[in-house]
Amino acid sequence: MQELTRLQNERVILMGNEAIVRGALESGVQFVSTYPGTPASEIGNLFSEIAKNNDSIYFEFSTNEKTALEAAIGASFSGLKCLVAMKNFGMNVALESLIPFGYTGSKGATVIIVADDPSCHSSAQSEENSRGFAYLSHIPVLEPSDAQECLEFVRLGFQISKRFHLPVIVRTTTRVAHQKAVVQTSGLPKVRPSDAEFIKDKHRFVTMPPRVMEMHQELLDKISIIKLFVEDSDVNYVYGDLSTNTNTKRAGIITSGVAYLHVLEALRMLGKDVPVLKLGFFYPLPEQKIKDFIKPLKKVLIVEELDPYLEKEVAALAKSANPKLVIYGKNILPETGEMNPEIVAGAVAAVVRKKYVVPQSMVEGVKHFPRFCSGAATCPYWRVFAAIKKAVPENTVFGGDIGCYMIAALPPHNLYDYMFCMGSSIGIGHGIAKATNGQQKVVTLIGDGTFFHSGIEALLNAVYNQSNLLAIIVDNRITAMTGHQPNPGMGKAAETDAAPEIKIEEVARALGVKNIKIVDPVDGFDELVTSIQEYYPKNEISVIIAKRICALLEKRQKQ
Amino acid sequence: MDKTFNIVISGVGGQGLVTLLKIISQAAFDEGFDVKTSELHGLSQRGGSVEVYIRFGEQVFSPMVPKGQANLIIALEQQEVLNGAQFASKKSIFLINKYQTPTLAVDVGLDEIKQRLADVSKKVFVIPASEICQKKLGNEVVSGIYLLGYAVRKKYLPLPMKSLEEAIKKTMPEKFWELNLKALHLSKT
Ligand SMILES: Cc1ncc(C[n+]2csc(CCOP(=O)(O)OP(=O)(O)O)c2C)c(N)n1
């Protein structure tokens, strides 16, 4: 992985996330913070290696996305070039700080990577579309389509941020972040070890009324200036030729992100030549360019994944630019799930009136459910769930959380009765326990990583407001699901093997939990069963820490 | 018209699909082709169904193989071929590793699999790659590499063996070269 730092001007195959890292390196990034989440995790994993041997780049795995963003905001205020990376749900956690960051703006240029996952290949909870954050925050959003653009858009993001003193979001999706393609790299700048200084500037960094209202206006003023920049930017361009557009009854296509690549593929499949307006900026949009594009058209097809944001914008612009324009979009394309070449070909064919049958396979597929590791490295969670099954009645309400243990929602376990987002097993369990006057017993499961991310707050609420749930914390000594990143319980951090080890039992005790046990679910299986049985009837909150190292990690440590 | 070569590899998480993808895409790139691939990470790593796409040719647009356009479908787990088959045409070549892990739902036997594929393509080959690798090399993790070597030797994959050997060296740490190169050539012996 060190190869990323050794590349010169070369053509190589890179994954989208690798290209993002390379783009940040080419921009001279100095401060990188992240919280892992698929499909963004490789960015942090790569930087954790790169920063080890590099005294001009600071890197940390923060404890959650909010602290990751806040760390970068502090570094930006101190003048450093910053990169923050997270998956879509992470932005919800960080949102509280994202919005004022638009108001203050950045000092050191700052790029925020947010990775969406249409079709939920590696996400639970929702098919969140992070483009919506543009409307909430007024922070510019770029949408790369391929690995080359991942590199270039990160560089462009840093340039825009430097010039306009605003952070820039680069939004990817699974098929961009985890796409490998040919990428042209450039050389790396010389970055000196940081001599950052926080120079006091209360006018700029303190958001309080009445100043905050001025800041709001300043942000909108910045965006009006950036709009001019966006109109001229060559990352919004027309592919194909409007003048040769005779055999397609004056149709056009507007698209962005990976959908652009599906559009080109679809046009090739159909043997059609339709002009395509490819948008690199999602926010702000090049409104004049869009108007010029749609003006001569009779019909336009908007191809975008998930919500019809672009479609609504185009419809609004068409009112003045071309009121008779027929707009196709979500009326013939799905609003859920990712797109692919055939879906897009079907829509293009309908618009240009060409016969095309979306190929349907007659073969019935299969589904292998993900499972806990077994064999040479058998996951300790098997024993946790066996113990629970043995110890508590079936009518117990089981709350699940986010980590490898969520697999217990699937066959053969089919355990959980509710599952939401990180930390919520305890938060929602508390509400059920209170609503039912403690009559319906709630048992929740949460991992060490997720406990540190956002379980602590929920446990605090459950103690403070006195519910009787039993929280089982499955402590496998690592954040496993996202690819083995360190967390505060391990005594390790990104750049050091000597971080303070935060003990879950001490945290729980400090929060006021009185019933706490630590049990090894493999060697102490019987004790785990009796501990659950002992705490189950209690009319106050209890915590059992089922502590046993992830079997894969153990195997790797031995190798 | 479109001469992109399309590969779908299906299997379950942990079988080394991403390693195969890396080797094939590096080899195709070294042969001067444009390349695009797509892979999945995360939940799918833990024994769940996964499929990856590799496309190479003069100019490749989408990272996803369009349905009906797969030239080569490799299944590292036999039932998973039914997912790979979603991308098949009458001309697709199927290489199926004779190896089964339970789905934890309804399992499909090999006879039933063959029957379901009978109408799809005539070129369906079931190869006991896991068993051969385990017996001859003491390690079944390289069964995908074995199938890759098989595909190249039979000209089902239009890339020279030499560039796959080089790609193995470029994409893997040196300590794994010997085992993987052996697996690549094993089907010849
Ligand atoms: C807000 C948010 N950030 C990140 C993720 C990605 N993610 C999924 S599981 C997980 C961590 C799980 O760690 P842990 O609780 O220790 O469980 P383990 O996988 O080790 O069993 C993360 C960070 C997410 N789903 N939501």
Q: What is the pLDDT of residue B17?
A: 95
Decide if A369 and B117 are in contact by the 8 Å CB cutoff: no
Q: What is the pLDDT of residue B45?
A: 63
Chain B residue numbers touching A38 (CB-CB < 8 A): 41-43
Chain B residue numbers touching A182 (CB-CB < 8 A): 29, 34-35
For tokens 């994409």, the residue is B171
CA distance A472 to A515: 12
Binned at pLDDT 50, 70 and 90, residue A359 comes out as: confident
Q: What is the pLDDT of residue A495?
A: 82
Q: Which residues is B74 bridged to in the sheet?
A: B9, B95
Cα A171 to chain centroid distance, Å, stands at 9
Q: What is the pLDDT of residue A243?
A: 62
Q: What is the pLDDT of residue A496?
A: 82
**Among A residues 329-348, those touching chain B with beta carbons less than 8 Å apart:** 340-342, 345
Q: What is the pLDDT of residue A293?
A: 97
CB of A87 sitting under 6 A from ligand 1: yes
Architecture of the domain whose range is A237-352: 3-Layer(aba) Sandwich (3.40)
Q: What is the pLDDT of residue B3?
A: 87
For residue A116, how many C-alpha atoms fall within 13 Å in the half-sphere facing its CB? 26
Q: What is the pLDDT of residue A92?
A: 98
pLDDT in tens, A144-179: 999 999 999 999 999 999 999 999 999 999 999 999
Q: What is the pLDDT of residue A1?
A: 46
As given in the structure block, the two tokens for residue A208 are: 């309080």
Percent of chain A whose pLDDT exceeds 90: 92
State yes or no: pLDDT of A558 exceeds 60: yes
State yes or no: pLDDT of A545 exceeds 60: yes
B103 → closest Cβ in A180, A369, A407: A369
Decide if A39 and B49 are in contact by the 8 Å CB cutoff: no
The answer to whether A281 and A256 are in contact (CB under 8 A) is: no
CA distance B60 to B35: 6
CA distance A132 to A137: 9
Binned at pLDDT 50, 70 and 90, residue B42 comes out as: low
Q: What is the pLDDT of residue A236?
A: 98
Mean pLDDT of chain A: 96
Q: What is the pLDDT of residue B11?
A: 96
Q: What is the pLDDT of residue B44?
A: 55
CB of A372 sitting under 6 A from ligand 1: no
Q: Which amino acid is at A155?
A: R
pLDDT in tens, A75-126: 999 999 999 999 999 999 999 999 999 999 999 999 999 999 999 999 999 9
Atom of ligand 1 nearest to the CA of A402: 9
Residue spans in chain A of domains classed CATH 3.40.50.970: 2-231, 381-558
Q: Is the ipTM of this complex over 0.95?
A: yes
State yes or no: pLDDT of A404 exceeds 90: yes
Give the residue from A280, A282, A249, A252 showing the smallest Cα distance to A267. A252
State yes or no: pLDDT of A192 exceeds 90: no
The CATH code for residues A381-558 is: 3.40.50.970
pLDDT in tens, A229-284: 999 999 999 998 666 555 557 999 999 999 999 999 999 999 999 999 999 999 99
For tokens 């990577």, the residue is A113
CA distance A157 to A481: 30
Q: Where are the beta strands (DSSP E) in A94-140?
A: 110-116
Chain B residue numbers touching A265 (CB-CB < 8 A): 61-62, 66
Binned at pLDDT 50, 70 and 90, residue A194 comes out as: confident
Residues near A66 by beta carbon (within 8 Å), at least 6 away in sequence: A93, A94, A96, A97
CA distance A520 to A384: 9
Does B173 touch chain A if contact means CB atoms closer than 8 Å?
Answer: no
DSSP-based three-state secondary structure for A294: helix
Q: What is the pLDDT of residue A134?
A: 98
Q: What is the pLDDT of residue A2?
A: 53
Rounded to an integer, the average pLDDT of A472-485 is: 95
pLDDT in tens, A364-388: 999 999 999 988 899 999 999 999 9
Architecture of the domain whose range is B4-188: 3-Layer(aba) Sandwich (3.40)
Q: Which amino acid is at A287?
A: E
Does A278 touch chain B if contact means CB atoms closer than 8 Å?
Answer: no
The answer to whether A397 and A441 are in contact (CB under 8 A) is: yes
Binned at pLDDT 50, 70 and 90, residue B1 comes out as: very low
Region for A105 from its dihedrals, namely left if φ exceeds 0, alpha if ψ lies in -120 to 50, beta otherwise:
left
pLDDT in tens, A311-328: 999 999 999 999 999 999
Q: Judge if pTM exceeds 0.90.
A: yes
- Which DSSP category does A479 fall into? B
Which helix (H) or strand (E) element contains residue B107?
none
Please tell me the distance between residue A479's alpha carbon and the centre of ligand 1 in angstroms.
Answer: 7
Rounded to an integer, the average pLDDT of B134-150 is: 97
Q: What is the pLDDT of residue A205?
A: 98
Q: Annotate A422-440 with three-state secondary structure.
A: CCHHHHHHHHHHHHCCCCC
Please tell me the distance between residue A91's alpha carbon and the centre of ligand 1 in angstroms.
Answer: 14
| Pairing of the two strands A237-239 and A179-184 | unpaired
Rounded to an integer, the average pLDDT of A393-399 is: 97
Distance from CA of B79 to the nearest CA of A (A): 7
Binned at pLDDT 50, 70 and 90, residue B106 comes out as: confident
Decide if B42 and A122 are in contact by the 8 Å CB cutoff: yes
CB of A157 sitting under 6 A from ligand 1: no
Q: CATH class for domain A2-231?
A: alpha beta
**Among A residues 17-76, those touching chain B with beta carbons less than 8 Å apart:** 38-39, 41
Domain ranges of chain B: 4-188
Residue spans in chain A of domains classed CATH 3.40.50.920: 237-352
Instruction: Pick the more confident residue, A152 or B44.
Output: A152
